[in-house]
Amino acid sequence: MTKYSSRYASSPEAVKKYDTQQLREEFLIDDLMQEDEIVLVYSHYDRYIAGSAVPVKGDLALETIDPLKAPYFLERRELGIINVGGSGSVVVEGTTYELGFKDALYIGAGNKEVVFKSDDSNNPAKFYLNSAPAHTTYPTKKVSLAEANKLQLGTMETANHRTVNQMIIGSVVTTCQLQMGMTELKPGSVWNTMPAHVHDRRMEVYFYLDIPQDQAVCHFMGQPQETRHIWMNNHQAVISPPWSIHSGSGTSNYTFIWGMAGENLDYGDMDVCKITDLR
């Protein structure tokens, strides 16, 4: 079964006036990882889709949704997948790709058959999905966490010591515009993406995981001079408009998956915001 919803674009001026509930309704995705369902959120920021697939009682096939006006989901799209649950597999046009915990898979446009499977229903795979429009087809490729391009950033002194695992990105996988990766914070560090930045050329979605029980992450968004925040729990995602910062601080260390699409594929194309200038 597939469930989907749409989120429309909001201007910076409008977001300044949002209360907590409206901010959460517009940007927070809090219904992911439902058993035996594919859940999708179609954002009007760069036509990006974020979602999940959790096969328990049986396999789940990726089906098209009405906003795409396409006979199958990947007719004009590419797809990135990262497994954040038990071991499982994804079948793409008859070829099976085994995905362990935190392994990734890129699927190019034009593939009609995509089926999600779990190895053990008592410990099901939990597939986190990101999709963006694609103008051509590139080969499907699995990227394990060990194969990711790893960047060591931040310091313990500034509480942002972290490993950035670039997984679905130009130096590892050829894509049209989709990029995905996973950032793991070291014990004792709580800040992600600090100093914060914006990139008007791309939108982004964050998905938080490895948040310990009874802990949370405060995600910061908005224009640098007009920030807002959303408190987030494990396995929730948040949409970041191109004009918004996207940063967070947790009550413990945690992991998050970042995914983005837009004007270019330059990971370093960002406008850094000086910490002391944030408001």
Question: CA of 188: how far to CAs of 184, 211, 252, in Å?
Answer: 12, 13, 7
Strand, coil or helix: 97? strand
Please, are residues 133 and 47 in contact by the beta-carbon 8 Å criterion?
Answer: yes
Rounded Cα gap, residues 97 and 147, in angstroms: 15
Question: CA of 80: how far to CAs of 56, 106, 207, 235, 260, in Å?
Answer: 21, 5, 13, 17, 11
Rounded Cα gap, residues 123 and 135, in angstroms: 37
Annotation: binding site for Zn(2+): 197, 199, 204, 246
Q: What is the CA radius of gyration of the chain?
A: 18
Length of the chain as a residue count: 279
Question: CA of 157: how far to CAs of 1, 73, 160, in Å?
Answer: 47, 46, 8
- Position of tokens 């793991």? 184
Annotation: binding site: 197, 199, 204, 246
Rounded Cα gap, residues 63 and 120, in angstroms: 23
